[in-house]
């Protein structure tokens, strides 16, 4: 059986996820970021996380350094933030309407995120048309009782549907 990209995308859409914005610094020190729902945990000790990064992403080179990255887990009010960082805007931090801070590793932490993970890059693995980026968590933060933005079958959702 041959599985097409459309079929794998549609079937994976049945796997409900949260949504993150993952930020890094490019070689010129400019902030970059993309929306990603492939974020997941790998290991508790040591604390490792991963996400899959499309090789065609404009920001791909920023993740090939050992400078690290930050994962922002979006809250249910942050659909516009998700759409913004899923766009192909040249500089996504120019005239940004959302507030953010510089984290301990220099990467952007978005106000309103319900959790954040600051990471140093631990490994990059071949993942077909994606690169599997593994990070070691050096600092984290979470908001008690906050509701997540969810993604299911290509649509945003909240815990109440």
Ligand X SMILES: Cc1cc2nc3c(=O)[nH]c(=O)nc-3n(C[C@H](O)[C@H](O)[C@H](O)COP(=O)(O)O)c2cc1C
Footprint of ligand X (CB under 6 A): 19, 34-38, 51-54, 57-59, 86-88, 151
In the complex, minimum distance from the CB of residue 89 to ligand X, in angstroms, rounded to a whole number: 7
Name, in order, each residue with C-beta under 8 angstroms of 151's C-beta and a sequence gap of 6 or more: 16, 17, 18, 19, 37, 157
Name, in order, each residue with C-beta under 8 angstroms of 116's C-beta and a sequence gap of 6 or more: 70, 71, 72, 73, 103, 109, 110, 140, 141, 142
Q: Is the peptide bond between 46 and the residue preceding it cis, with omega within 30 degrees of 0?
A: yes
In the complex, minimum distance from the CB of residue 45 to ligand X, in angstroms, rounded to a whole number: 25
In the complex, minimum distance from the CB of residue 142 to ligand X, in angstroms, rounded to a whole number: 21
User: Cβ closer to ligand X: 59 or 137?
Assistant: 59
In the complex, minimum distance from the CB of residue 145 to ligand X, in angstroms, rounded to a whole number: 24
User: Cβ closer to ligand X: 87 or 104?
Assistant: 87
User: Cβ closer to ligand X: 23 or 105?
Assistant: 23
User: Cβ closer to ligand X: 28 or 45?
Assistant: 28
Is 58 within 8 Å of 24 (Cβ atoms)?
no
How far apart CA 99 and CA 108 sit, in angstroms, is 10
User: Cβ closer to ligand X: 137 or 150?
Assistant: 150
Query: By CB neighbour count within 10 A (0-12 exposed, 13-18 middle, 19+ buried), where does 133 fall?
Result: buried
């Amino acid at each position: 059986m041959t599985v097409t990209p459309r079929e794998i995308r549609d079937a994976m859409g049945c796997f409900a996820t949260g949504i993150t914005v993952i930020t890094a610094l490019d070689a010129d020190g400019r902030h970059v970021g993309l929306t990603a729902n492939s974020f997941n945990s790998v290991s508790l000790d040591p604390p490792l996380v991963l996400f899959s990064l499309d090789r065609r992403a404009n920001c791909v080179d920023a993740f090939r350094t050992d400078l690290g990255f930050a994962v922002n887990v979006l809250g249910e009010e942050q659909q516009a933030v998700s759409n913004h960082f899923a766009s192909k805007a040249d500089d996504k931090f120019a005239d940004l309407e959302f507030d953010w801070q510089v984290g301990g590793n220099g990467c952007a932490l978005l106000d309103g995120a319900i959790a954040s993970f600051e990471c140093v890059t631990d490994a990059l693995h071949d993942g077909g048309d994606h690169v599997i980026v593994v990070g070691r968590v050096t600092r984290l933060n979470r908001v008690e009782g906050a509701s997540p933005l969810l993604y299911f079958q290509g649509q945003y959702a909240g815990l109440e549907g």
